Chains A and B, each alone.
Chain A
Amino acid sequence: MPVNFPDVQGKRDTVKEQVTEDMLKEVIDLYISETDSISLLDIPSTFVSVDADDAEPIMERNNQYAEACRSRMDNDKYVDQSVQTLNGATKNKQVQSDSIVMVDKATTVTSWDVYDSLISPDVSVGSTDSTGNNASGWVLSPVMSLLACIILLCFSSASAASSLKEVEALGNSLNAESDLQLIMLSEKFQHCLLVMERSILGNIFQPQLAAYRQLPVIEDPESPVKPGMGEQREEDAESPRSPAVVRLWAFSCELSRGSSVSSMAWNKKNPDLLAVGYGEFGSSNQKPGLVCCWSLKNPTWPERVIRCDSAVTSLDFSSNNPSQLAVGMQDGSIAIYNVKSRDNKACFISSSGCPNRHLDPVWQLRWTQQELSLTGEEKVESLFSVAADGRISKWFVSNNDLMKLKKKSVLSALTPGLCFDFHPTDASVYLVGTWEGLIHKCSCSNSQQFLETFKKHFCPVNHVTWSPLSPDVFLSCSADWTIQLWKQDHHKPVLGFTSTQRTVCDIKWSPKWATVFGAVNEGQLEIWDLNSSILDPVIVQPAAAGVKMNSLLFAPQTDCVLVGDSDGQVTVYQLRNLCVGDSSQVTLKGKVAFSMQRLLLAWPVEAKCSGCQLGTAGKINEWINELCKYIKNK
């Protein structure tokens, strides 16, 4: 038998006939016909039909064979013989295959993991295709990463998988720089930083903020107790509780240092938000002004910084749209800013294009709700402004444009208005303080005449303010060193106050106590309580050296006072131990006032006249002293 060598393959040389183009084009006829039947296997049947011719001898032979089989055992004719098949020689052949890599992987599935996998099916299996994807492509939950590993193993060999991981690690270190850039630019990071800064400052200012919010100030139990502090605390506990102000903190930053604070206003909706306007006054050059919106949660840096074209003289927040801040400037223009947007160009309305605009510094602005709108539900808010050109204007905001609706020019150009205030309940009546020292009561409906005039001051009236708790009582302060207390129907002031010989810059009623008001003259902060004394302020806080106090603001819902000064700082003071008796109505004061007025009218005529002239501030005090003694003795 020839031995086959299947491994050895011989090559048969075949000669190929060159195929020419003519041969390709030749038409060749092919004939297909049936061939003869080729029989490959022919096994005749061993079955014979019973009806066949030779059936009988076959049946006989079958019977003979059956008989022979039966008698086979004992018969000598038949002998058993065995046969052995030869086993061929075996040959060993070996085949090697790649080993199967087995990796153990386990994961703990949590309920949020299942939730994530259900909700966000677009978390794809990461691959290192582009650097941009790398940052997010590998954020896989444990379940998905388990699947990812299995898939990787199925489709690649072990060596390929390990090289992939190396590429990942290399890729990541290169991407750290771009990661940082991406992160720093994202808005979420900015928000993150904001929250972080506030938490840090919350830690630093913890006791002061707690005092502001009238929470008990808790000492940090772990902080090291300084030896000096212990003694001081004992001293405080022992001394009698006299009214005082305690300095809590100051809003100041490098942007505002150097400019003087001109006005402050609380936001109507968010009681933690304070807008402060800064501007340089007294110098001839018009420096650009600044408005900073401070939040109580960050006393070191303002939330919003708005740069204005000229020095800011007045501010007010709107009540209807709490994010609108109206700013009046020294060049007479009024701008309305939207403090919600972080953009520096957040001004969306300015009156500089308006033909009827003011040309002189806008000394005060106020948003007031007056008329009902057409639907009768919401009150339309309009902006009133008083400026040094002697006009009081009412502005109406419509279609992103500031339009002047009615000119309430009750003052002539000779009498610049310095301040005004609307009556707390009747919004159509307001008071205006002028440069000449007159205070006019006017009405919105009558723009030609004053309703009343109050004459007392002989120097510019710096501020006039209605009492929020007692009706018909208002205060005015002026550069003639006095503060006057008026009642609406009396043409003469009911009470006058002086304490120092300086111009009184600002005066405000306390929102909580009807008999308490605060005043700043340039050198000190004074808190007066009419219940305890009408001669001297209850609390006096001198200003820091070289700094003049400019403006005052009471904090709503808490007993703190904010004072702005000429160095750009807004200091927060807390009023302590101010025992005020009955704070609902100014009844006691009313009685004193009434009796005093009766006495004033009963005095001889000369005394009354001399009390109204220049340079008699001291004399007025004398009279008041005597009257008080008189009343006390009664």
Chain B
Amino acid sequence: MAEVEETLKRIQSQNGVQGIIIVNTEGIPIKTTLDNASTVQYAGLIHQLVMKARSTVRDIDPQNDLTFLRVRSKKNEIMIAPDKDYFLIVIQNPSD
């Protein structure tokens, strides 16, 4: 448990990481380092995106599943690790 906390702290302190959000299956953020408004916005929007991405992957081959999703935009990169029980979302600005 302490190891997990330590890893989260390390990730938070890496260069350019803007925020970390952990969302549960219903789309409710359960742990976040951003402010409330952004968290709720990210959680809702990304939830839909991950559902769509997962549906796409599984439609092509039902035995396949989504393991990682990276969205690179002009200003930052959103990395999402989805799972059956939760999503882990990290927003990073790599050029910092």
Contact = CB atoms under 8 A, between A and B. Distances in A.
B75 to A, nearest CB: 8
A179 B94 contact: no
Interface string B55-96: 100110011000010100010010101011110101010110
Contacts of B90: 196, 200
Contacts of A201: 14
B25 A180 contact: no
A226 to B, nearest CB: 10
Interface in A198-237: 199-201, 203-204, 206, 220, 222-224
Contacts of B16: 200, 203-204
B7 interface: yes
B40 interface: no
Given A199-B68, A223-B95, A112 B22 contact: no
A200 B79 contact: yes
B1 interface: yes
Interface string A107-124: 000111001100000000
A255 to B, nearest CB: 12
B15 to A, nearest CB: 5
Given A112-B55, A183-B24, A197-B7, A189 B83 contact: yes
6 contacts: A110-B59, A180-B22, A186-B85, A188-B83, A189-B83, A192-B88
A183 B30 contact: yes
Contacts of B22: 180, 183
B34 interface: no
B30 A138 contact: no
A204 B77 CA distance: 12
B31 A180 contact: yes
Given A110-B59, A196-B11, A184 B1 contact: yes
Interface residues of B, number: 39
B46 interface: no
Contacts of B85: 135-136, 179, 182-183, 186
Interface of B: 1, 3-5, 7-8, 10-11, 14-17, 22, 24-26, 28, 30-31, 55, 58-59, 62-63, 68, 70, 74, 77, 79, 81, 83-86, 88, 90, 92, 94-95
A169 B42 CA distance: 21
A136 B26 CA distance: 11
Q: State the majority secondary structure of interface residues on A.
A: helix
Interface in A141-187: 172-173, 176-177, 179-180, 182-186
A396 interface: no
A607 interface: no
Contacts of B81: 192, 195-196
A176 B85 CA distance: 12
Contacts of A204: 14-16, 94
B83 A203 contact: no
B89 to A, nearest CB: 9
Contact of A185 (B1, B7, B94): B1
A300 B77 CA distance: 20
B59 A111 contact: yes
Interface in A329-365: none
Contacts of A192: 81, 83, 88
Interface in A595-628: none
A197 B77 CA distance: 14
Nearest to B94: A203
B62 A112 contact: yes
Nearest to B88: A192
A119 to B, nearest CB: 8
Contacts of A195: 68, 81
A458 interface: no
Contacts of A185: 1, 4
Nearest to A202: B94
Contacts of B58: 110-112, 115
B83 A111 contact: no
A235 to B, nearest CB: 22
Given A184-B1, A204-B14, 4 more contacts: A184-B4, A192-B88, A200-B79, A300-B10
